[in-house]
Amino acid sequence: MKRRLTTVALSLMPLTLVCLRGSTPWRALGRDLDWTIAVSTALFWPVVVAWAIIQPRTQRWWRRFEDPSARWGLVIVVALHLVALLAPALVTHSPQAQGHPVFDRYLPPSTDHWMGTDVLGRDLYSRVVYGSRVSLTIGVISVFVSLVLGTIVGGIAGYRGGWLASALMRLTDMMLAFPRLVLLLLAVALFSPSPLVIILILGVTGWMSLARLVRGGVLQVISTEYVDAARALGLPPHRILIRHVLPAALLPIIAALALRVGNTILTESFLSYLGLGLQDPVVSWGMLIRSGRQTLLSAWWLSTFPGLAILLTVLGYNLLGDGLRDAYDPRLRSAVRSEA
Amino acid sequence: MSSDRPDRNAPLLQVRGLKKVYAPTSGFFSRKSTPVVAVDGVDLDVAPGETLGLVGESGCGKTTTGRCILRLIEPTAGSITFDGVDVRALGSRDLRAFRRRMQIVFQDPYGSLNPRLTVGSALHEPLAVHKIGDPSDRPDRVAELLRKVGLPTDYTHRYPHELSGGQRQRVGIARALAVGPRFIVADEPVSALDVSIQAQVLNLLNDLQEALGLSYLFIAHDLGVVEHVSHRIAVMYEGKIVETGPTEQVVGDPRHAYTRALLAAVPRIRTGGRPKPVSGDSANR
Amino acid sequence: MSDSPLLRVSNLTVALHLEGGTSLPVRDVSFDVGASETVGLVGESGCGKSMTALSILRLIPKPPAEIVAGSVNLSDVDLLKLDSNGIRRVRGNRVAMIFQEPMTSLNPVYSCGEQIAEVLRLHSGLDRRRAWARAVEMLDRVQIPNAAERAREYPHQLSGGMRQRVMIAMAIACNPEVLIADEPTTALDVTIQREILALLDELQAQLGMGILHITHDLAVVSESAHRIVVMYAGQVVEEASVDQLFSAAAHPYSLGLLASRPELGARRSRLPVIEGRVPEPSQEVEGCRFRERCPFAVDRCTEEPPLLEVSNGHRARCWEFERVQREGEWPRVQ
């Protein structure tokens, strides 16, 4: 099963790259959006597979999705990522192509323009589809950045203990106590908001709660006897941490990750809406809402459709997260052994 | 176990004045707590090929003692000499290499195996880390280990949850044997098992001792089990060894009051049975 | 056995509906518990002994478990036929239960006294004050020193032995006719175990209650029980008085259990072993369920034996019980 999944994922990655042909990561690092898209959509599958691999063996992985909310969440999330991946094939117009300055402005939804057009006559449907790339990329990668930071801090704090652990956890507490919005505003003021900068800012301000979760998981796992056994066998610490501790400790975090992706997409939209996030010509859903806010009563579609897109994404990720959390929480499972 | 006693003049393991104090945690953000003395000056000797039974009730410090000897828990004071090596002086790298010579078997056959590793990879891992044998003949070694503990060799592909408690305990023993130790701390290895399975595992430990010349520190709360496997017995109470001696002497002629109390409390099969209850509902018999 | 037993379990069968299919962890189990009598229900994990005990008070989780046949008569009432209010009035009142781990059975946020008083207010209708006074009295009765002060303490402040005493106090608070004790001393040290067993004997002498003592340890029930019921793979395989069982076991499994136990003062180089393992409840075995592990097995064992009368009050589920009794020793196979 594990091998089959890995094969599927590996075969999907070239497909990803084919869809993104023409992307030039080395030339426009950080500014060229294709680079981040390539990373995010390519990352999505390995993350799903990594997650499937670290399952405890007592259950088939698809059992996790027996819960309807997890299943619907997965369907929505996969569908959205496919939309982002295949955006060039799905759009009806170029997202940047401007229409006639008089006749194509503020057209309501029609068969030609499914979601209407904006002030410059650009097709909103195509812009929302392309916007999914930016929003999902930012959501997934910044949570990934948070996960890496949180795993390092939480893993060390949990496994090493001692003064280093105290110092790291105090740092975490301090970061948590600092209002995130202030940090975000400060960072946006200091750096010009390119997608990469937004990803890093969201990632670096979002790792604290994950670090706590990881530390809790690690503390729980290192008290098990199989970790003692690994130590008694003379395995080096890094091997114990990677092979025996982290797979079990990260398990409960997967649900939190899905919830955070939704949350982060909301935060990015919020920043963009305030005008502090991404700037033209990059298209994100938050920016689209912002551009429609003054004509909300006359051209309602401009803010409504990107808003619905955000709603659907956050809903999908939250359903997935909730469903997974229920699946991982043994207290919510009703398994009965024959002998109590 | 045979009655001829191994040579006790040259102990394989010598523990002197072992002490473990759980220090009070103090810090700016944490509340002060009182120190707990878990192990309080324990002396033990284990000869080659010998089983020393360490018996005591829960909380007496017997498990902590076992883990201190392996330095899974750092002792606070005392000396541990194994085959002429001062174990407490070893640096972390040397300690890891040294772990090939002393191993541990745990109580809980469910918690002591990583649920994500197959039996095969659990046994292969120590071989790879210690670079034991050629990479190409390691699968054979794994199979050999399984044979030694009486498991079918095709169990390499199984996961722990597919095995019964007794089978898992056998895997735990095989994993300890993988690195070729001379001494094994057996920490309540049968107390989580059913009676009929207990006998199988005790017999296995016995056979392995005879075949490989192993020494055991056999930690248990059940005097019946300890008496069955041990050449000598040490009785532990509140962090101290209160009595130690040959098995026959400790069981047959206990000197310390606590040993006597412990022996008296062991449930034995009484063929007499209880007198039949007085029929009817009389409140007093 | 008295003429009208206090508790009579007859032909109890429990089904467990899991995804893999339906299995029968308890198969056609019958036994009696008389007043002032202790019955030991003995078996290894997976033999169905706990499931049997829970079924008596209908405490098994339903679904997936379901009582499919049999009856549980307490005096003249069939507990399996009572409605949910009726069974609730029996639980903790006429039939009480104590468990292996008192820490998980006691509520950590209430003091011990409050928990006992709650049971009393529920079943005996005492007011708050009188219930508290009686709770303290109960704690005193289970020999907890300074009962009035201890009543105010919380479960985590007590040792394991003390917690089990509190559980017992709660169980006997309403003067039950039957006490079901599910591995009451397994989690305790031997010295504490002895005290708890002595306490149960003493309370039985005072209150005249019947005790069903469930355990995996034959030695424990040999000291405390009058009669023993041995279960294997969901079935009763032998039922005998303590005397009969330990001097002349008639079922090979009982014999094997006795032999494989490292008994104090009986040092041997190798323990006799019952090879193999218990069949899963879902596994259907043709004939005797112990046949494949049995050194006494003969051709006839492919036909399932009923519980055969060995002697007065002694029954065994084995065709060959006479040979088993005659040889009286578990053969050593190397």
* Structure ipTM: 0.82
pLDDT band per the 50, 70, 90 thresholds, residue B20: very high
- pLDDT of C65 above 80: yes
Contact yes or no for C208 and B281 at CB 8 A: yes
Check if B130 contacts A (Cβ < 8 Å). Answer: yes
Contacts of A339 in chain C (CB under 8 A): 25, 45-51
Interchain CB contacts (distance < 8 Å): B and C: 148
Lowest mean pLDDT among B29-33, B195-199, C55-59: B29-33
Is A338 a member of any domain? Answer: no
Interchain CB contacts (distance < 8 Å): A and C: 24
Contacts of B172 in chain A (CB under 8 A): 229
pLDDT at B183: 95
- pLDDT of A200 above 90: no
Q: The domain B48-73+92-265: what is its CATH number? A: 3.40.50.300
Check if C39 contacts A (Cβ < 8 Å). Answer: no
Check if B271 contacts C (Cβ < 8 Å). Answer: yes
Contact yes or no for A166 and B95 at CB 8 A: no
pLDDT per residue as tens digits for the range C25-53? 899 999 999 999 999 999 988 888 888 99
Tokens of C27: 């198969």
Q: Which of B265, B268, B277 sits opposite C37 (nearest CB)?
A: B277
pLDDT at C180: 93
Contacts of B203 in chain C (CB under 8 A): 270-271, 273
The chain B residue lying nearest A169, using CA atoms, is B29
Which residue type, as a one-letter code, is found at position B123?
Answer: L
User: Of all residues in chain B, what percent carry a pLDDT higher than 70?
Assistant: 88
Check if A226 contacts B (Cβ < 8 Å). Answer: yes
- To the nearest whole Å, the CA of C88 is away from the closest chain A CA by 21
Q: Give chain A's domain count.
A: 1
pLDDT at C218: 87
Check if C24 contacts A (Cβ < 8 Å). Answer: no
pLDDT band per the 50, 70, 90 thresholds, residue B258: very high
pLDDT per residue as tens digits for the range C172-228? 888 899 999 998 888 888 888 888 999 999 999 999 999 999 998 888 888 889 999
Check if B253 contacts C (Cβ < 8 Å). Answer: no
User: Of all residues in chain A, what percent carry a pLDDT higher than 70?
Assistant: 76
pLDDT per residue as tens digits for the range A148-169? 899 889 988 888 878 888 899 9
pLDDT band per the 50, 70, 90 thresholds, residue C266: low
pLDDT at A60: 54
Q: Give chain A's mean pLDDT.
A: 77
pLDDT band per the 50, 70, 90 thresholds, residue B123: very high
By residue range, what is the domain housing residue A27? 2-331
Is A236 a member of any domain? Answer: yes
Name the residue among A61, A126, A128 with its Cα closest to residue A327.
A61
pLDDT band per the 50, 70, 90 thresholds, residue C1: very low
Contacts of B198 in chain C (CB under 8 A): 260-262
Q: Is the pTM of the predicted complex or chain greater than 0.90?
A: no
Tokens of C258: 């006795």
pLDDT per residue as tens digits for the range B38-67? 999 999 999 999 999 999 988 899 999 999
Alpha-carbon separation of residue A339 from A212, B127, C10, C42, C161 (angstroms)? 36, 37, 21, 13, 24
pLDDT at B74: 92
Subunits touching C (CB < 8 Å, at least 3 pairs)? Answer: A, B
Mean of the pLDDT values across residues C61-67? 82
Check if C16 contacts A (Cβ < 8 Å). Answer: yes
Check if A58 contacts C (Cβ < 8 Å). Answer: no
pLDDT per residue as tens digits for the range B157-214? 888 888 888 899 999 999 999 999 999 999 999 888 888 888 889 999 999 999 999 9
The chain A residue lying nearest C25, using CA atoms, is A338
- pLDDT of A59 above 70: no
Domain extent listing, chain B: 48-73+92-265
pLDDT at B103: 95
Contact yes or no for C265 and B1 at CB 8 A: no
Which residue type, as a one-letter code, is found at position A240?
Answer: I
Lowest mean pLDDT among A52-56, A60-64, B45-49: A52-56
Which positions 155-184 of B are in contact with C (Cβ < 8 Å)? 164-166
The enclosing domain of A97 has a CATH number of 1.10.3720.10
Contacts of C49 in chain A (CB under 8 A): 339
Check if C279 contacts A (Cβ < 8 Å). Answer: no
Contacts of C235 in chain A (CB under 8 A): none
Is A241 a member of any domain? Answer: yes
User: At C40, is the secondary structure helix, strand, or coil?
Assistant: strand
Name the residue among C289, C277, C288, C274 with its Cα closest to residue C330.
C274
Check if A339 contacts C (Cβ < 8 Å). Answer: yes
Is A33 a member of any domain? Answer: yes
Bigger pLDDT: C114 vs A281: C114
Contacts of B175 in chain A (CB under 8 A): 229, 233
Q: What is the DSSP string of chain B?
A: --SSPPP-SS-SEEEEEEEEEEPPP--SSS-----EEEEEEEEEEE-TT-EEEEE--TTSSHHHHHHHHTTSS--SEEEEEETTEEGGG--HHHHHHHTTTEEEE-S-TTTSS-TTS-HHHHHHHHHHHTT-S-GGGHHHHHHHHHHHTT--GGGGG--GGGS-HHHHHHHHHHHHHHT--SEEEEESTTTTS-HHHHHHHHHHHHHHHHHH--EEEEEES-HHHHHHH-SEEEEEETTEEEEEEEHHHHHHS--SHHHHHHHHHS----SS-PPPPPSS--S--
Which positions 74-113 of A are in contact with B (Cβ < 8 Å)? none
Residues 6+ apart with CB under 8 A from C130: none
pLDDT per residue as tens digits for the range C68-91? 999 999 988 899 888 888 888 888
Contact yes or no for A338 and C25 at CB 8 A: yes
Contact yes or no for C45 and A339 at CB 8 A: yes
Q: Which of C243, C256, C264 sits opposite B196 (nearest CB)?
A: C256
pLDDT per residue as tens digits for the range C246-264? 888 899 999 988 888 887 7
The chain B residue lying nearest C189, using CA atoms, is B57
pLDDT band per the 50, 70, 90 thresholds, residue B139: very high
Contact yes or no for C273 and B271 at CB 8 A: no
Is A339 a member of any domain? Answer: no
- To the nearest whole Å, the CA of B215 is away from the closest chain C CA by 17
Contact yes or no for A339 and C16 at CB 8 A: no
